[in-house]
């Protein structure tokens, strides 16, 4: 639990931070809340030579409504997201997801940008970001670009970010009338990470499912949209039977990961159960 | 006789303000001028031959003071001994070098040590120690380790069998089984008591300072038993005992894991002597998981014989106890003396035939973990009693009642030969069942699952052995020490009191309870009493805190010493009051002549006079203090009934603990708050074994559950509000009437929860045995295997 030596920088602006990333290349790691990076540094599984602490850059945190979107600064903590009144009204799914991340200490320090950039395959946010069709805004030496969540999570611990890019903001849509959302999670009893986490966004019309977006985390090597479930839901009046039938496809086309706590087969089963529960809860909220 | 004022009072723990406001001093907080830091280089392999160690690169690292290997320690540091040499078991005690010289036997075995100016430099340099290993085949499972052709850990230990310990009467037991096979029931079941990691909040830490001028060695360290540590430090280092001072500063939990004498403290002392610098070593959590002892790890095949009315007539079984790579300090005694001797529990089971194999494997050594042997025994008996009830379709509460040792049979000699001091098991069970409204729960269960949730009710009616213990008895079991306790009660001239105890509390709250006892005995305000422990330079002698012995044995010594102080004070008071000693009454700190309470001498006045010594009665020495050395005549046997109520989600297998009722009988209660606290902590650890915890090794001997992100240390939100209650059956032989309560929660709760889950599944026609921890997948597999859908209602 004694990290190797590193050089520490605390840039005051995004521009300065990008300059440091350009200068130090692969030797540099960005530090935000530190809840993913510091534990692996203490175990010396990561030994970055340079730490770029972006925590003191102003303007990277905060939540604001922006037309049909809500913009969340990358350094906004899970706790702030959980408690934010704007999010609770316009996109409660994200607040509901933040509320079940780790424990209180983690939620007080960890940030949404850091979680997204780390891309842990069992992190909670990715399920919600995928289901919501969120956008990740990143800035690099060549300026700002917007990456759809569906393209952002590339592989386990790998994102579409370039080494010199920093996430500045995430944008989630304001939920429309008739749309409900829910996040259902089976936490690992040790780590608190999602063994299975399912975010469902369901739009109902005339008692039938008009559209559905299902984001799943914890099951496979990266978070994914359960498109087979989504297809099977459309046109259905959602009850225990129809939802279960559709949710049976939750792990279709992915390779469920197994560990000491839950085998791949059991994870796939849990994915179906939690998908069913998330869908039914989301549908019940679709008003 | 003093009127009891504080005995039984809910006084808040006096130790807590400093602990919870960060003003306590733990070993790692120690700062000494010239302090250097040690880092121990550990084997990454479970079993390997050391071909070569190259420390030159490490020596050249900045800030490095010295680097040593096992060869440097040879001839200077003696092998680390075991201190529980169980007799009649063919116990093998292969040498355990503090640093491995030619072979490493588990991941974490020390091979070298780096001393540096700071902790970072030490860690950096340790990474530069090059060890050339020849990897050998490893074995982690105790049954596989005993199989032909298994890798051998120690050259002179065939089949890796450290001991074979047998108990009971084979012939009579065989006859009982024959009869049961004919007219009753016989049930056989394999039970696993999985390996657990103790997880004290404070990891182990050692600070050693050697004064080469005086030859004095002082070691501050995380121990539950400083005097045993001093004794063993003398054995291992060759330094004379009177030149060694061991101090246990604040110790942040132990749960048994800070009883043993580890190689690490000997290594740090070696470093301090060789470098001439005080040296600090503190393990990090990863090191703690690899090198601090683990607990449990039993495989048991158990059979029970019973009559059709539920009367249990015999138990027969074999246990394979995984001891790890080396024998830890108390390692051999835990799965034998503290386990086998409690197998028949609180029941009149007349016949027993039991064998325990102790086995070496390429894993972290196993020793005492909260409950130490009794949780394993209680799990076996409480699970198999439930299996008898299920097989005979009897209520598990009725089967228990039928087999309880009746209250008029105490003291009761068990089939194992122990004399249970006192007990009255029925009322505790009645109280527990009433608390959960057992009948209503059973009716509810009969109505079937609700919302896909299976309701289960689990009982555990336990008895355990603690208050270790009469020295002659533990000596006969091969324990290489006495288990009496010492106390000094010293009144100062101003009648403030210092109480010295040979126990070493580290979270159990005896700074409060002992002060309560002394306050009552001497009529002093509790704030005038200081309890001192954990320093061999201050406390005459003692055997430490473990085995729920501190209040039972240490408290008894204190009350005897306090009474001696009072007797002497009464003599002086009589003299001052010009009365005969027999006419003196002592009441709430005042001595007076019977019938004349207005003319009194306070304890404060008498104490001052004892020190001034101007006017003492003839033959009475000055000053006011007394010591006592108390050796109990028996162990104590607390008992109780616990009930767990669970719901199993049939869709996911997730177990939700809905209610937990613990009715305990620990004799007289000095402080109900502290007893509740002990029970709560014990419950959490016991329930966690049932539902969450379990250390796992890969076949190559790597610890898979190597961090807190993999090993499920329970969290507060995982538990319902515990409902505690008590019955009171005083120990007849203990001066305070108390029994130990530090481990009852752990001992009782594991089978209560497992029985509840099994009960839930059984209510649904599923009788598959499940091993702990009862993860959702295990429960779901059991349900799913029956291919039954749970209908909503």
What's residue A1's pLDDT? 79
Query: Which residue, of B604, B630, B656, is where some domain finishes?
Result: B630
Binary contact (B713, A190; C-beta < 8 A): yes
Cα A115 from Cα A123, distance rounded (Å): 7
Residues B232 and B303 in one domain: no
Q: Is A93 contained in some domain?
A: yes
Element (H, E) at B558: helix B555-576
Q: Which residues of B touch A189 (CB under 8 A)?
A: 691-692, 712, 714, 718
Residues B131 and B96 in one domain: yes
Q: What is the per-residue pLDDT across B578-606, written as a single tens digit (0 to 9) for each?
A: 999 999 999 999 999 999 999 999 999 99
Before B263, cis peptide (omega within 30)?
no
Q: Is B109 contained in some domain?
A: yes
pLDDT band at B5 (very low <50, low <70, confident <90, very high): confident
Residue B702 sits in a domain whose CATH number is: 3.30.365.10
Selection from B298, B314, B381 nearest residue B353 by Cα: B314
Residue B121 sits in a domain whose CATH number is: 3.90.1170.50
Is the predicted pLDDT of residue B197 greater than 50, yes or no? yes
Domain extent, residue A129, equals: 63-173
Domain extent, residue B609, equals: 16-22+484-630
Residues B759 and B724 in one domain: yes
Residues A217 and A278 in one domain: yes
Give the total number of structural domains in chain B.
3
Residues B349 and B300 in one domain: yes
Is the predicted pLDDT of residue B315 greater than 50, yes or no? yes
Tell me what percent of the residues of chain B surpass a pLDDT of 70.
Answer: 98
What's residue B669's pLDDT? 98
Is the predicted pLDDT of residue B1 greater than 60, yes or no? no
Q: Which residues of B touch A190 (CB under 8 A)?
A: 692, 705, 708-713
Residues A219 and A239 in one domain: yes
Beta carbons of B474 and B664 less than 8 angstroms apart: no
B696, B708, B777 member nearest A262 (Cβ): B777
Residues B114 and B60 in one domain: yes
In this structure, the strands spanning B655-665 and B639-649 are antiparallel
What's residue A287's pLDDT? 85
Q: Which residues of B touch A39 (CB under 8 A)?
A: 709
Is the predicted pLDDT of residue B786 greater than 60, yes or no? no
Q: What is the per-residue pLDDT across B353-381, written as a single tens digit (0 to 9) for each?
A: 999 999 999 999 999 999 999 999 999 99
Beta carbons of B524 and B589 less than 8 angstroms apart: yes
A2, A191, A261 member nearest B123 (Cβ): A2
Residues B501-521: what's their mean pLDDT? 97
What's residue A271's pLDDT? 98
Residues A42 and A77 in one domain: no
Residues B436 and B516 in one domain: no
Q: Is B609 contained in some domain?
A: yes
Cα B591 from Cα B608, distance rounded (Å): 14
pLDDT band at B663 (very low <50, low <70, confident <90, very high): very high
What is chain B's mean pLDDT, rounded?
97
d(CA B675, nearest CA chain A) in Å: 28
Residues B558 and B640 in one domain: no
Residues B708-730: what's their mean pLDDT? 97
Residues B558 and B641 in one domain: no
Binary contact (B652, A261; C-beta < 8 A): no
Q: Is B626 contained in some domain?
A: yes
Interface of A with B in 189-218 (CB under 8 A): 189-191, 193
Residue A223 sits in a domain whose CATH number is: 3.30.390.50
Crossing angle of helices A264-285 and A240-247, in 10° steps, is 140
Query: Which residue, of B630, B657, B683, is where some domain finishes?
Result: B630
Q: Return the SS3 of B278.
A: coil
pLDDT band at B476 (very low <50, low <70, confident <90, very high): very high
Binary contact (A266, B776; C-beta < 8 A): yes
What's residue B784's pLDDT? 86
Q: What are phi and psi of B168, to 5 degrees?
A: 105, -170
Query: Which residue, of B630, B655, B682, is where some domain finishes?
Result: B630
What's residue B4's pLDDT? 57
Q: Which residues of B touch A187 (CB under 8 A)?
A: none
Beta carbons of B179 and B171 less than 8 angstroms apart: no
Is the predicted pLDDT of residue B610 greater than 50, yes or no? yes
Q: What is the per-residue pLDDT across B394-439, written as a single tens digit (0 to 9) for each?
A: 999 999 999 999 999 999 999 999 999 999 999 999 999 999 999 9
Tell me what percent of the residues of chain A surpass a pLDDT of 90.
Answer: 98
Residues B723 and B655 in one domain: yes
Residues B723-735: what's their mean pLDDT? 98
Binary contact (A190, B696; C-beta < 8 A): no
Residues B357 and B414 in one domain: yes
Is the predicted pLDDT of residue B655 greater than 90, yes or no? yes
Residues B638 and B626 in one domain: no
Q: Is A247 contained in some domain?
A: yes
Residues B760-786: what's their mean pLDDT? 93
What are the helix (H) ranges across B665-737?
672-691
What's residue B788's pLDDT? 46
Q: What is the per-residue pLDDT across B553-581, written as a single tens digit (0 to 9) for each?
A: 999 999 999 999 999 999 999 999 999 99
Is the predicted pLDDT of residue A87 greater than 80, yes or no? yes
Element (H, E) at B211: strand B205-211
Taking any CB pair shorter than 8 Å as contact, residues of chain B touching chain A are 119-120, 123-124, 127, 284-286, 651-652, 654, 691-692, 696, 704-705, 707-715, 718, 775-777, 780-781, 792
Residues B511-521: what's their mean pLDDT? 98
What's residue B789's pLDDT? 47
What is chain A's mean pLDDT, rounded?
97
Per the listing, tokens 């306790």 go with B485
What are the helix (H) ranges across B316-413?
337-340, 374-391, 396-403
What's residue B787's pLDDT? 47
Residues B755 and B742 in one domain: yes
What's residue B457's pLDDT? 98
């Amino acid at each position: 639990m004694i990290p190797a030596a590193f050089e520490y920088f605390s840039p005051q602006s995004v521009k300065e931070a990008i300059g440091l990333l350009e200068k130090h290349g692969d030797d540099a790691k960005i530090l935000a809340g530190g809840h993913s990076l510091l534990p692996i540094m203490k175990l010396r599984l990561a030994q970055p030579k340079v730490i770029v602490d972006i925590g003191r850059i102003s303007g990277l945190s905060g939540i604001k409504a922006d037309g049909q979107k809500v913009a969340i600064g990358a350094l906004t903590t899970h706790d702030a997201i959980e408690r934010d009144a704007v999010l609770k009204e316009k996109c409660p799914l994200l607040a509901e997801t933040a509320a079940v991340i780790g424990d209180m200490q983690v939620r007080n320090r960890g940030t949404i940008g850091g979680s997204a950039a780390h891309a842990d395959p069992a992190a909670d946010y990715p399920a919600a970001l995928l289901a919501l069709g969120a956008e990740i805004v990143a800035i690099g030496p060549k300026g700002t670009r917007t990456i759809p969540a569906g393209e952002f999570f590339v592989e386990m611990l790998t994102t579409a970010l370039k080494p010199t890019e920093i996430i500045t903001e995430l944008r989630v849509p304001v939920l429309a009338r008739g749309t409900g959302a829910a996040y259902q999670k089976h936490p690992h009893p040790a780590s608190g990470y999602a063994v299975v986490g399912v975010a469902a966004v369901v739009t109902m019309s005339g008692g039938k499912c008009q559209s559905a977006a299902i984001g799943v985390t914890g099951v496979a090597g990266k978070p994914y949209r359960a498109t087979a479930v989504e297809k099977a839901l459309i046109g259905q009046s959602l009850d225990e039977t129809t939802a279960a039938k559709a949710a049976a496809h939750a792990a279709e086309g992915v390779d469920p990961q197994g560990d000491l706590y839950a085998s791949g087969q059991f994870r796939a089963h849990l994915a179906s159960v939690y998908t069913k529960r998330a869908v039914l809860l989301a549908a019940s909220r679709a008003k | 006789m003093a009127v009891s004022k504080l005995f039984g009072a809910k006084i808040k723990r006096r130790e807590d303000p400093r602990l919870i406001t960060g003003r306590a001093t733990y070993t790692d907080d120690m700062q000494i001028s010239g302090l250097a830091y040690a880092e121990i280089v550990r084997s990454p392999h479970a079993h390997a031959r050391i071909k070569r160690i190259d420390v030159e690169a490490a020596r050249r690292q900045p800030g490095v003071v010295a680097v040593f290997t096992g060869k440097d320690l040879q001839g200077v540091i003696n092998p680390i001994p075991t201190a529980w040499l169980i007799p009649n078991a063919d116990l093998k005690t292969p040498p355990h070098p503090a640093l491995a010289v030619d072979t490493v036997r588990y991941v974490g075995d020390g091979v070298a040590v780096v001393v540096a100016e700071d902790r970072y430099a030490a860690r950096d340099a340790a990474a530069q120690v090059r060890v050339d290993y020849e990897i050998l085949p490893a074995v982690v499972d105790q049954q596989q380790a005993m199989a032909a052709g298994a890798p051998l850990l120690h050259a002179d230990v065939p089949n890796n069998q450290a001991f074979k310990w047998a108990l009971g009467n084979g012939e009579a037991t065989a006859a009982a089984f024959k009869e049961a096979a004919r007219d009753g029931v016989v049930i056989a079941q394999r039970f696993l008591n999985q390996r657990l990691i103790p997880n004290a909040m404070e990891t182990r830490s050692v600070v050693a300072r050697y004064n080469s001028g005086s030859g004095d060695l002082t070691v501050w360290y995380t121990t539950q038993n400083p005097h045993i540590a001093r004794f063993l430090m003398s054995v291992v280092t060759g330094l004379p005992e009177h030149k060694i001072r061991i101090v246990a500063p604040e110790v942040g939990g132990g749960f048994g894991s800070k009883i043993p004498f580890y190689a690490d403290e000997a290594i740090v002392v070696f470093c301090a002597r060789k470098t001439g610098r005080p040296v600090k070593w503190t393990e990090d959590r990863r090191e703690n998981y690899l090198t601090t002892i683990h607990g449990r790890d039993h495989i048991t095949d158990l059979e029970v014989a019973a009559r059709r009315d539920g009367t249990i007539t015999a138990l027969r079984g074999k246990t394979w106890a995984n001891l790890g790579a080396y024998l830890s300090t108390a390692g051999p005694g835990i799965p034998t003396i503290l386990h086998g001797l409690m197998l028949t529990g609180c029941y009149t089971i007349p016949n027993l035939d039991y064998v325990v194999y102790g086995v070496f494997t390429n894993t972290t050594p196993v020793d005492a973990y909260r409950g130490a042997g009794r949780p394993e025994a209680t799990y076996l008996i409480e699970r198999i009693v439930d299996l008898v009830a299920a097989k005979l379709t009897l209520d598990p509460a009725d089967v228990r009642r039928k087999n309880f040792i009746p209250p008029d049979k105490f003291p009761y000699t068990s089939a194992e030969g122990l004399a249970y001091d006192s007990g009255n098991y029925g009322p505790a069970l009645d109280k527990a069942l009433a608390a959960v409204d057992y009948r209503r729960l059973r009716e509810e269960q009969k109505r079937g699952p609700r919302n896909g949730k299976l309701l289960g009710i689990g009982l555990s009616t336990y008895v355990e052995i603690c208050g270790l213990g009469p020295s002659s008895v533990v000596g006969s079991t091969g324990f290489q020490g006495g288990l009496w306790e010492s106390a000094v009660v010293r009144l100062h001239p101003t009648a403030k009191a210092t109480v010295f105890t040979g126990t070493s509390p580290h979270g159990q709250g005896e700074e409060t309870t002992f002060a309560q006892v002394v306050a009552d005995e001497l009529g002093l305000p509790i704030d005038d009493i200081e309890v001192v422990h954990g320093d061999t330079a201050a406390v005459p002698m003692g055997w430490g805190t473990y085995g729920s012995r501190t209040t039972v044995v240490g408290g008894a010594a204190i009350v005897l010493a306090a009474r001696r102080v009072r007797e002497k004070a009464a003599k002086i008071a009589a003299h001052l009051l010009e009365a005969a000693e027999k006419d003196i009454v002592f009441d709430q700190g005042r001595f007076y002549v019977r019938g004349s309470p207005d003319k009194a001498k306070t304890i404060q006045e008498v104490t001052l006079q004892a020190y001034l010594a101007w006017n003492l009665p003839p033959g009475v020495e000055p000053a006011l203090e007394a010591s006592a050395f108390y050796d109990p005549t028996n162990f104590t046997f607390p008992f109780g009934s616990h009930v767990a109520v669970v719901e199993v989600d049939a869709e996911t297998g997730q177990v939700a603990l809905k209610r937990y009722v613990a009715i305990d009988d620990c004799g007289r209660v000095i402080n109900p708050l502290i007893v509740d606290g002990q029970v709560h902590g014990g419950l959490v650890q016991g329930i966690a074994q049932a539902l969450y915890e379990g250390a796992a090794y890969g076949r190559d001997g790597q610890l898979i559950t190597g961090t807190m992100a993999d090993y499920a240390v329970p969290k507060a939100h995982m538990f319902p509000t515990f409902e505690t209650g008590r019955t009171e059956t005083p120990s007849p032989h203990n001066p305070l009437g108390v029994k130990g309560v530090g481990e009852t929660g752990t001992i009782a709760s594991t089978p209560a929860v497992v029985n509840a889950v099994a009960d839930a599944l059984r209510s649904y026609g599923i009788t598959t045995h499940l091993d702990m921890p009862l993860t959702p997948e295990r429960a779901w597999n059991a349900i799913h295997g029956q291919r039954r859908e749970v209908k909503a209602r």
